[in-house]
Structure 1
Amino acid sequence: MNTSHHRPADTWSPLYFLASLGPGGLAVTFFMFLMFWVPHPGQPVPVFEHIMSAFTSGGLPLKAAILLAVTGIAGFVFLNIKMLIWNLTRFSQFRKTESYTKLVNSNGETQLLAMPLALAMTVNAGFIVGLVFVPGLWGVVEYLFPLAMIAFALVAYLAFRQIGNFLGRVLSDGGIFDVSANNSFAQLLPAFALSMTAVGMAAPAAMSTVPLTVGVSMILSIMLGTVAGLYALVAAITAFNSMLHHGTAKESAPTLMIVVPILTVIGIMTMRQEHGLHTTFAAPSGVADNLLLTTTILAIQIVFLALGLLVLRRQKYADAYLRGNGNSAGAYALVCPGVALSVMLQFWINKGLVSAGLIAKFGIAYWSFTSLAIASQVAMIVLVFFLNHRHFAGRARMQSVPAE
């Protein structure tokens, strides 16, 4: 049988929404260049005017960094939106199939949370595009914050509805949830989706000067972040117990590192809330608070990265799904930890080490640490293009493996 024109992505699963999430996260890594290298006095984030001023008056290295950043943001947000539209189209078709009915009656129903996760990322990426490319946006930004919170509230509603469908089904009747098949961190996907909406909901708390907007942003983001943390804790404990009994499911092994992006977005949410408390409600945080927070998060992330990479190597995951004949949409989950690590390193360096006075900005130590963040970023860029070619180009003699 001729399979030369078959693409692995033709065997669709909701985890392909992660192919949209990854580019959105990479756009954020490029925004970190602007966030921490472009001066923006008196404002929490750089906007178009700051970027143009820095590009006009800055030296050649800064000009090159700005050009690289805006190009990266534009390119990866385009890819993010393109993949989101493709996935939404495929999802509408998927809902009419028997595969959908089978999915929503299995442990894999939580894969559907990849959709609100990707939607929340796209809203976040859209806000970055506005800041970077739209002149005069800051003059009307207070009118945009309520609209952004409404968008995140709608995404959160979708996520809670899907979580409710899943929990209502498995908790109302016994014996439905297959505990033996819960031997991965795949069930933490709902927590990831909620945390992504929480970090977006917290943005007005850090940027708005209207007390009501800041207060509503803080309350809603705290609620979403708390629920995300609670869900992640319960899901991780039950999953770890199953993994100890049955080992880690090979195809779902990348989910062992899902804790890394969850902690990054929760950490950014917390820093945004603290900024709002300081600027709006006169409750300043200590100089080293961000250093303590980001260092603690990095320590936990390193543990789960090491654990995940250890299991992936022992199970020869790359031989099966990256170099071999098998394919899994879940391989896109490998992008999230690397992106999240790059972003958290940038915050640890700039909001932690530099702000606490431990290292000088743009000194040797600064660039030594920053090179680690950039290395992780570059590796994930390569991985995204590699996976896109593998899954979306026509390939001969390749079997697409449905995600568990």
Structure 2
Amino acid sequence: MTKTPPQGYHPLYFLAALGAGGLTVTFFLYFMFLVPHPQTPVVTADDLLLLWATGADWMRPLIILGLAGMLVMAGMHIRLLIWNLLQYRRWRKTTDLEQIEARNKDVAFMAIPLTLTMTINVLFAVGAATIPGLWSIAEYLFPGVLVVLIIIGAAALRMYGNYLSRLVMTGSFDFIGNANLSQMMPIFAFAMIAVAFAAPGAMSQNQLINAIGLFFAIFFLSLSALLGFVKLVVGVNAMLRHGLTASASPSLWILIPILTLSGITLVRLIMGLQHGFDLTVPKPALFVLTSIILSLEILFGLLGYVVMQRLGYFRDYLRGEQKSPGAYSLICPGVAFFVFGWFWIMFGLVGNDIVTPLTPAFFALMLPLILVQWKSLETLLKLNRKLLRKSAQPQIAT
């Protein structure tokens, strides 16, 4: 990995770590939804060991492949996270922040709490799948997880509060320079924090932990929804007036991970309310919820692809010579579509007895998700070679 000089660094490089973290979760989901785990809400290392001992011989290479993919991506996530934190610290000392603030580009700093929250998800997935007996002490870990999330959430609120208050007081928002959806990065971060809070809210058997997790999940999801509506209107209005530049066109896909995180948060809220507050939700409601969100993701995905193709983004920034850390924003939409595709299949279709697991129809539905996952992985590795190899000196295109 290149030791990028401070003047060549940009906070959007955190998206590289974010993408690797998301891909870690994609490998975990194969175990989550394909390995039986009747005693726990998530698959654990004990379930994998049982499958290894009692399952068919052909399953063992698949278990090894899934664990290897998860561990390699988790290692890449941690390595890129540490690299970014060190580079960011050096960059802050030598950068003219006033110039960045004048162009409203400091919104990119929200990639930091976004990525740190992803780290919690990565550690959870890796720990659950590789440490036998970990779930037996999960209730003791949940309070610590909530404390860490509260710290990250407070830091994110402070960071965004400083940004928003400056805009409100000075009226300095640059509509021409921000004729895109990159201003929705904070919404992405708050949605990520919401889904992380929803995990202990959905899985803890302690009602106090359950309630705390659900409250903060609702808080950050509500904030994400409110700001998302405002920023979407502002961004679309600016694009229609001033047009969208090629370098900013991937921002059209930011809605896909936001929708996925919001959808998973809602599903977890339903689960938490079911076992913590005796809420009864009919299974067809989950089919409707997951279908609406997946439909919106497909629509925004197609729109973004057509626009980026016509602007030559893939030709110039992915396969060509143009270099921009913003290209890493291509990874998360693919990861998000893969993840929520699984939620649609399992909660929407399998949960309503529309599709039976491990049948030809089930595998046919899995196929496009697998293709998206591997395309996202290929894109991440390609961008790493292009932007982070030692011979590459990043040229920041904004």
3-state SS in 2 of match to 1:251: helix
| Aligned residues of 2:323 and 2:397 also touching (Cα < 8 A) | no
TM (normalized to structure 1)?
Answer: 0.95
Corresponding residue for residue 219 of structure 2:
223
Q: Out of 344, 347, 350, which is 1:348 matched to?
A: 344
Map 1:4-403 → 2, pairs under 5 A? 11-174=8-171, 176-395=172-391, 400-403=394-397
1:249-284 per-residue CA deviation (whole Å, 9 max, x = no partner) reads: 221110100000011111111111111111222112
- Structure 2 contact 260–336 (Cα < 8 Å) conserved: yes
Could you tell me which amino acid in structure 2 is paired with residue 377 of structure 1?
Q
Give CA deviations for 1:284-329 in whole Å, capped at 9, x if unaligned: 2111122111110011001110111011011001222122221000
Map Cα deviations across residues 94-137 of structure 1 (whole Å, 9 max, x no partner). Answer: 11123434223321010000111110000111111111111211
> What is the CA-CA distance between 1:10 and the residue it aligns to?
7.2
Aligned residue identity for 1:364:
P
The residue type equivalent to 2:279 in the other structure is A
Paired letter, 1:63: R
Which amino acid letter does the alignment assign opposite residue 65 of structure 2?
L
Distance 1:55 1:197, change over 3 A: same
SS in 1 for 2:102: coil
SS in 2 for 1:60: coil
Amino acid at match of 2:281: S
Q: Distance in 1 between matches of 2:295 and 2:5?
A: 36
Residue 123 of structure 2 aligns to which amino acid in structure 1? G
Task: For 1:8 and 1:18, locate their aligned partners in 2 and report how far apart those are by CA, in whole Å.
Answer: 18
Kept in 1, the 8 Å contact 2:106–2:163? The answer is yes
Q: 1:9 touches 1:392 (CA, 8 Å); kept in 2? A: no
CA deviation vs aligned residue, 1:313-347 (integer Å, no higher than 9, x gap) = 11001222122221000000000100000111111
Once the two structures are superposed, residues 333-383 of structure 1 have per-residue CA deviations (whole angstroms, 9 ceiling, x without a partner) of 000100000111111111111111111111111000011111111111111
SS at 2:180 equivalent: coil
User: Alignment partner of 2:247: what SS?
Assistant: coil
- SS at 2:176 equivalent: helix
Does the aligned pair in 2 maintain the 1:33–1:65 contact within 8 Å? no
2-structure distance, mates of 1:172, 1:256:
28
| Local SS of the residue matching 2:93 | coil
Superposition RMSD in Å: 1.6
Secondary structure class of the residue paired with 1:200:
helix
User: Whole-Å Cα distance in 2 between the matches of residues 239 and 330 of structure 1?
Assistant: 17
SS at match of 1:43: coil
Shift of 1:8: 9.7
Given that residues 180 and 236 in structure 2 are in contact (C-alpha distance below 8 angstroms), is that contact kept between their aligned partners in structure 1? Answer: yes
Could you tell me whether the CA contact under 8 Å between 1:8 and 1:391 is conserved in 2?
no
Asked if the contact 2:202–2:214 (Cα under 8 Å) also holds between the matched residues in 1, the reply is no
Q: Secondary structure at the match of 2:295?
A: helix
Dislocated runs of 4+, deviation >4 Å: 5-10
| Counterpart-to-counterpart distance in 1, 2:5 and 2:306 | 27
Q: Give structure 2 stretches of 5+ with no counterpart.
A: none
Deviation, structure 1 residue 192: 0.3
Q: Distance in 2 between matches of 1:106 and 1:305?
A: 28
Change (3 A) 1:162 1:383: same
User: What's the CA shift for 1:63?
Assistant: 2.3
Given that 2:9 and 2:394 are in contact with CA atoms closer than 8 Å, whether structure 1 keeps it comes out as: no
Give CA-to-partner distance per residue, 1:196-223, whole Å, 9 cap, x none: 0110010012211111111111111000
Aligned to 1:128, the other structure's residue is in SS state: helix
Alpha-carbon offset, residue 87 of structure 1? 0.4
Taking a change above 3 Å as real, the CA distance of residues 131 and 219 of structure 1, as seen in their structure-2 partners, is same
Contact 1:251 1:317 in 2 (8 A): yes
Cα contact 2:113–2:155 (8 A) shared by 1: yes
Q: Which range moves more in the overlay, 329-338 or 93-102? A: 93-102
Give ranges in structure 1 of 5+ residues lacking alignment.
none
SS in 1 for 2:335: helix
Aligned mates of 1:371, 1:309 — CA distance in 2: 20
Separation in 2, partners of 1:364, 1:8: 52
Does the 8 A contact of 2:6 with 2:94 survive in 1?
A: no
Match of 2:137, as an amino acid?
A: V
What amino acid is aligned across from residue 111 of structure 2 in structure 1?
A: A
